Amino acid sequence: MKKFIGFRILKTAIGSSLAIIIAQYLGLKYAVAAGVITILSIQNTKKTSIKLAFQRLQSTVLALLVSSILFFIFGYNPFVFGLYLIIFIPITVILKITDGIVVSSVLVTHLLAEKSISMFLITNEFLLMIVGAGIGIILNIHMPKIENEIKELQENIEEHMRKILFYMAKDLRNQAVHIDEEILFNELENILVEGKDRAYRHLNNYIMSNDAKYNEIKYYVKYMEMRTLQYEVLKYMRSHFIKFYMTLEHTEIVAKFTEKVASNFGEYNTAEELLIELHAIIFMFKVQELPQTRDEFENRAMLFQFLNDMEALLVLKKNFWTNHKLNEAVGDKKL
């Protein structure tokens, strides 16, 4: 059961209070604005926090420049503030710094309220942004570790895929789809979505992108992408079962191989041995006598398509393993 008050909530509360205290200590006007900026600066990842902070600093410089020129020429009134937005917002879109529109515009309202564009007030607004965004970055330096959670999701994904393959083997023999398969597929889809989200969050909490540690973390993203593609293949394989209606020797061979794939399903196998065995089965089917009836021919064709899909499933894992080998010893191989 999740705690009602999470880590991010605590960081936001402490950070916003601290920003206001610092702004007051520095003698800044509208010190509360620094706390609001901190609230908006607390993000889920370090990279996002730093990226937004720089965008907001850039937009603040632009906002103060544009508004100061307009206030100087046309005076301080709401219509000029509207004109400022008409000019400011399109520029932020062009410069791709739109995340700073709201915060920067709030700072501009301070100039409007004070009816002044003095250097003291301009500096005041810029320091409010620096204090608020700075506290946000500092607090986001420490992020809770989620690697263990990702590994748990990996195990959960593999267990669901293993069960689905076992059910497929039974489906081949019984010529009927198991009632629990739909539930497994729906659960697997949700777990994969959560797994990808956590993997990308874990990656974006690492700043450096040119060392071994970054590549190790990126492994989880690639893993989740690979399993998602395998999930799509499994859905396609499942669609064939509405056309399997004859119990043949070939069906039993495919069922036994499907069980073998399920039994060896896991993270660390190259899938090479399974692919070799699969190719041998396909070759055996090809050299056997052709089906004698239309029904046998259609059933054999569906089995071939199922095996082709199984090959795609295994090739995805083989390619993943080739491109992202782990440094440590593999030990017992599982798919």
Residue 190 pLDDT: 94
Model pTM above 0.85: no
Instruction: Give CA–CA dist 130/331, Å, rounded.
Output: 51
Asked if residues 143 and 66 have their Cβ atoms less than 8 Å apart, the reply is: no
Q: Which residue has the tokens 């497929």?
A: 168
Contact yes or no for 23/31 (Cβ under 8 A): yes
Q: Are 271 and 171 in contact (CB under 8 A)?
A: no
Lowest mean pLDDT among 21-35, 239-253, 276-290: 239-253
- Return the pLDDT at 325: 66
Tokens of 71: 């206030």
Q: How confident is the model at residue 248 (pLDDT cuts 50, 70, 90)?
A: low
DSSP per residue, 236-281:
HHHGGGGG-----HHHHHHHHHHHHHHHT-SSS--SHHHHHHHHHH
Q: Mean pLDDT of all residues in the chain?
A: 83
Using the structure block, give the residue that is written with the tokens 């029904």: 295
Range with the poorest average pLDDT among 224-233, 251-260, 272-281, 318-327: 318-327
Contact 275, 318 (CB under 8 A): yes
Q: Give the amino acid at 129.
A: M
> Percentage of the chain with pLDDT > 90?
39
pLDDT in tens, 150-195: 889 999 999 999 999 998 888 887 766 667 788 899 999 999 999 9
Q: According to the 3-state scheme, what is the secondary structure of 78-135?
A: HHHHHHHHHHHHHHHHHHCCHHHHHHHHHHHHHHHHHCCCCHHHHHHHHHHHHHHHHH
CATH architecture of 147-323: Up-down Bundle (1.20)
332 pLDDT tier (thresholds 50, 70, 90): very low
Whether residue 219 has pLDDT greater than 90: no
Q: Kindly tell me if the per-residue pLDDT of 213 is higher than 80.
A: no
Q: What would the pLDDT profile of 11-35 be if each residue is shown by its tens digit?
A: 888 889 999 999 999 999 999 999 9
Q: Which tokens is 110 given?
A: 């301070």
Query: Which residue has tokens 């979505």?
Result: 193
Please work out, in degrees rounded to the nearest 5, the angle formed at the alpha carbon of residue 142 by the alpha carbons of 140 and 146: 105
